[in-house]
Amino acid sequence: MERVITLRDAWERYDLHPYLAVALIRASRMWAVRYGGLVLVRDEDAREWGEKLDVKRFEHLRGKPIKAYHVEKKYGIPHHTLTGWARSGKITTVGNHHWNVMVDEAEAAFAAHFLKLLDVGPRGKRLLPKPNIGIVFDGRNEKDVAPVLRRSKQLLNGYKLEVCASPDDAGPFVELCREAVQQAVESGTVRAYRFGDRILVPMEFLKRLVKQSYDGWFADLDGHVIHLSEAARKYELSLGTIFVWLRDGQIKQIGTQKNRVLLCEREIAQAAIWAWLFSSKSYKVA
């Protein structure tokens, strides 16, 4: 089972800056999925790209000025492309020499290396880290980590990634879901991923699995009646959630007993497992 990690983990373990990971994802060079509010990548991919990009190999050039003309000869980035980057702030300028723009050589060298690995040429500049190439050389100051990760996720807004879910988020139904998913994985029905101690599978697959399993899982609840407060305790739900379901017709009240609302337990169980797995409350990972 392949292991997946967060963009933060990829940064900390393999020195793969989140902005570079985003560029690789957008260029279809790195696989990724969404899980709750997280973007996850394969551990192996992150390690491989961290080694390929090897930002540290260019650090000795940091702050060293180089003319745009020499950049074209040495690194293959056209003069007009580089001057455009300089004007837009994409690359750090360190002065002018007889009208020739001078830029930070580390940034120029890394940009050329990065675009060559992606095999997109200078026109792939949209994939370069924003707002400035030099950001990949910055240290991981704790105060800067959160904004960088937040911006990385924003850069992937609107970009179609597969959404995953985990049977381990099923609350009181964990054992039921985990066993069903494990059987599917062992039979080759679905491909699963390991995220920490969680198993992840495509959300659409898990939805189909849950729908198909309702009858078997909750057959013994047919005809069972449960009080509203007991249902909330047993299935770890808020009373407010159950009242919303009643209001929306998702479940039905079947009577009262001593001023207590009576519900069909099978309906409650089916609604509860769906809420645990596929509502925002399922995602408790920081």
- Please indicate, yes or no, whether residues 101 and 189 belong to a single structural domain of this protein: no
Name the domain boundary from 76, 103, 125: 125
- Please indicate, yes or no, whether residues 179 and 259 belong to a single structural domain of this protein: yes
Type of residue numbered 179: E
The parent domain of residue 21 ranges over 2-53+133-160
- Please indicate, yes or no, whether residues 36 and 144 belong to a single structural domain of this protein: yes
Q: Which of 118, 120, 123 is nearest to 80 (CA)?
A: 123
- Please indicate, yes or no, whether residues 6 and 143 belong to a single structural domain of this protein: yes
Q: Which of 31-35, 148-152, 234-238 has the lowest mean pLDDT?
A: 148-152
- Please indicate, yes or no, whether residues 86 and 8 belong to a single structural domain of this protein: no
- Please indicate, yes or no, whether residues 7 and 96 belong to a single structural domain of this protein: no
* Structure tokens that stand for 255 in this block: 């009577």
* Structure tokens that stand for 188 in this block: 């080759």
Q: Which of 28-42, 216-230, 272-286 has the lowest mean pLDDT?
A: 272-286
Q: What is the pLDDT of residue 84?
A: 86
Name the domain boundary from 125, 150, 182: 125
The number of folded domains in the chain is 3
Q: Which of 92-96, 128-132, 174-178 has the lowest mean pLDDT?
A: 128-132
Type of residue numbered 198: R
Contacts of 40 (CB under 8 A, 6+ apart): 4, 5, 6, 32, 33, 34, 164, 193, 195, 200
* Structure tokens that stand for 202 in this block: 């495509």
Count of CA atoms in the C-beta half-sphere (13 A) of 268: 30
Distance, C-alpha 193 to centroid of its chain: 13
- For 35-62, what is each residue's pLDDT tens digit? 988 999 999 999 999 999 999 999 999 9
Q: Model pTM? A: 0.84
Type of residue numbered 160: K
- For 63-120, what is each residue's pLDDT tens digit? 899 998 899 999 998 888 888 888 888 898 887 766 678 899 999 999 999 988 888 7
Mean pLDDT of the chain: 88
Residue with tokens 């650090």: 59
- Please indicate, yes or no, whether residues 70 and 97 belong to a single structural domain of this protein: yes
pLDDT exceeds 90 at position 10: yes
